[in-house]
Amino acid sequence: MYSATLGQQRHVFGDLKTLMAQATPLRSGDLLAAIAAPDNEARVAAQFALADLPLRRFLEEPVVPYETDAVTRLIIDGHDTAAFTPIGHLTVGGFRDFLLSDAATPEALTALAPGITPEMAAAVAKISRLQDLMVVAAKCRVTTRFRTTVGLPGRLSTRLQPNHPTDDPRGIAASILDGLLLGSGDAVIGINPASDSPQRTHTLLCLLDDIRQRLEIPVQSCVLSHVTTTLDLIRQGSPVDLVFQSIGGTEATNRGFGIDLSMLAEARDAALSLHRGGEQVMYFETGQGSALSANAHHGVDQQTLEARAYAVARHFHPFLVNTVVGFIGPEYLFDGKQIIRAGLEDHFCGKLLGLPMGCDVCYTNHAEADQDDMDTLLTLLVAAGVNFIMGVPGADDIMLGYQSTSFHDALAMRELFGRGPAPEFEAWLTEQGLRDGFGRIRPLGLPERLRRLLPAA
């Protein structure tokens, strides 16, 4: 039982998950799950109570039962008590103050990450303003490496997302060419296939690998098929750089995705056995609302469950983690305001837990949002040091039917904030003559090497 007394009124919260849910800034998914605070005062009362909660409490009262949930067991059993010691005496409010303090240097935060559980990160996010989420995240440094190095200070990488409604290889190659000319793809060139057919996935993997080798681009590729499809293809000899999978914050959510932790471990081992890039071979996607959507939320709010998905990601040492924040629709994040906050919460929680966080800054046409909202979230995320964002031709994904960020958006951010792409990729762009005297991407023609991607006349 948790409580806060404000003036004459005592607000009571029956258990930790109720306290967490009611302390969450308003969003439609928690209303849909009927776990949101009944009014604004109750929400702030929950935030007062949460601020006074000792961090240790999260180790004693799991929001999802330990006995029945593999993600909870991963969190509790994998907790690094030595790393936790410096903050073990703090409350959630005290933890927020520490994170904002000058003592929380990038080095200190890196050392702390294994001691922080997802619920601790989620709790501090709930009592933070957007500014806090940005200031703290910007101090977290998470760098990963495959053929490029992603997440270095002063860098902003992009996933080139060249989707096509029928997976047509020539249509996909045309989008890749456009993206490369505009400096996109240094995090990954990643295709969402329209079909999960193994044969189709193999064809696309070969297409990407062929382009990479013919153009001698230092990039990695991924076809975002189900992990079981990718695992089978690795065994059959397909050129797999990164293994993709959508993941969630409860065992039942992951079951809904058709996966469990052992499958992810098996796929990671298989990808490592190929020795194509490095030790970081996983690409995970997440998003608030997926657990409720799969009816697997256990009465826990969607922001906390999202942070728990990062515990799953962390276990497998990913190269990239991407929160696809506005994709799920207005019943989970209603409008631009809710999407913007969720994007910054996710980035903050992921970084605090030590993950290479990127964000698909996006929305659907039935959400109350538009490109102005995406400009806002994108700018705030870049200020907060996001590792990578999406590059979609004209921001319009013609296969998935939603809007994200464009190649041009990424360039605008790089120029506004003075960020470059990953150094290996930057050198390649320079070699192709795509950068002007100020280091800006200004293609003046089609470089000779890129002409190899043109279809026969």
Partner 1 sequence: MTGAQDHPPAAGEAWARLRGLTAARIGLARSGASLATAPMLDFRLAHARARDAVHAPLDDARLAEDAAALGLPILTVDSAAADRRVYLMRPDLGRRLEAEGAATLATRAGVYDVAFVLADGLSARAVQNHAVPVLAAALPALRAEGWRIAPLAIVRQGRVAIGDAVAGALGASGAVVLIGERPGLSAPDSLGAYLTWQPRPDSTDADRNCISNIRPEGIGAADAAFKMVFLLRAMRARGVSGVSLKDESAAVAIG
Q: Note the residues at the interface with partner 1 (CB under 8 A).
A: 28, 31-32, 162-165, 168, 170-175, 177-178, 181-182, 329-331, 334, 364-366, 370-371, 393-396, 398, 401-403, 406, 408, 411-412, 414-415, 440-446, 454-455, 457
Q: Which amino acid does the sequence have at 111?
A: A
Q: How far is the CB of 419 from partner 1 (least distance, A)?
A: 13
Helix axes 371-383, 407-417, angle to 10 degrees: 40
Smallest distance, Å, CB 391 to partner 1?
Answer: 12
Name the minimum Å distance from CB 409 to partner 1. Answer: 9
Shortest separation between residue 13's beta carbon and partner 1, angstroms: 24
Nearest approach, Cβ of residue 283 and partner 1 (Å): 22
Sheet with 320-324, strands from edge to edge, namely 221-223, 188-191, 157-160, 388-391, 357-360, 320-324, 282-286, 243-246
Strand partners, 361: none
Minimum CB distance to partner 1 smaller for 131 or for 295? 295
Residue that has been written with the tokens 């039942």 in this structure: 252
Question: CB of 229: closest distance to partner 1 in angstroms?
Answer: 15
Rounded CA separation 146/243 (Å) = 12
Q: How far is the CB of 260 from partner 1 (least distance, A)?
A: 19
Contact, 384 vs 151, CB < 8 A?
Answer: no
Phi and psi of 55, rounded to 5°? -60, -35
- In this complex, which beta carbon is closest to partner 1, that of residue 334 or of residue 428? 334
CA-based end-to-end distance of the chain: 72
Least distance to partner 1, CB of residue 63, Å: 23
Q: Of the two residues 117 and 184, which places its CB atom closer to partner 1 in the complex?
A: 184
Closest CB to partner 1 among residues 20, 453:
453
Q: Rounded distance, CA 422 to CA 95, Å?
A: 33
Q: What CA–CA distance (Å, rounded) separates 159 from 179?
A: 10
Q: Provide the minimum distance between the beta carbon of 55 and partner 1 in the complex, in angstroms, as a whole number.
A: 34
Q: Which amino acid, residue 272?
A: L
Centre a 10 Å sphere on the Cβ of residue 344 and count the other Cβ atoms it contains: 27
Q: Count of alpha carbons within 13 Å of 329, Cβ hemisphere only?
A: 8
Q: What minimum distance in Å lies between the beta carbon of 73 and partner 1?
A: 28
Strands 396-397 and 402-403: antiparallel
Which of 282, 441 has the CB closer to partner 1? Answer: 441
Q: Which residues contact 425 (CB under 8 A, 6 or more apart)?
A: 148, 157, 183, 185, 186, 217, 218, 219
Of the pair 117, 163, the CB lying nearest partner 1 is at 163
Are the CB atoms for 53 and 91 separated by under 8 Å?
yes
Dihedral in degrees, nearest 10, Cα atoms 300, 133, 344, 5: 40
Longest dimension (CA), the chain: 79
Which residues are bridge partners to 435 per DSSP? 441
Whose Cβ is closer to partner 1: residue 164's or residue 268's? 164
**Residue with Cβ nearer partner 1 (347 or 435):** 435
Q: Return the number of the residue (119 or 167) whose C-beta is nearest partner 1.
A: 167
Give the Cα separation of 83 and 153 in Å (integer): 24
Smaller CB distance to partner 1: residue 209 or 335? 335
Phi, psi of 396 (to 5 degrees): -115, 105
Output 97 or 196, the one with its CB closest to partner 1. Answer: 196
Distance of closest approach, residue 216 Cβ to partner 1, in angstroms: 20
Q: Is the dihedral of CA 43, 49, 52, 53 positive or negative?
A: negative
| CB-based contacts of 412, cutoff 8 Å, min separation 6 | none
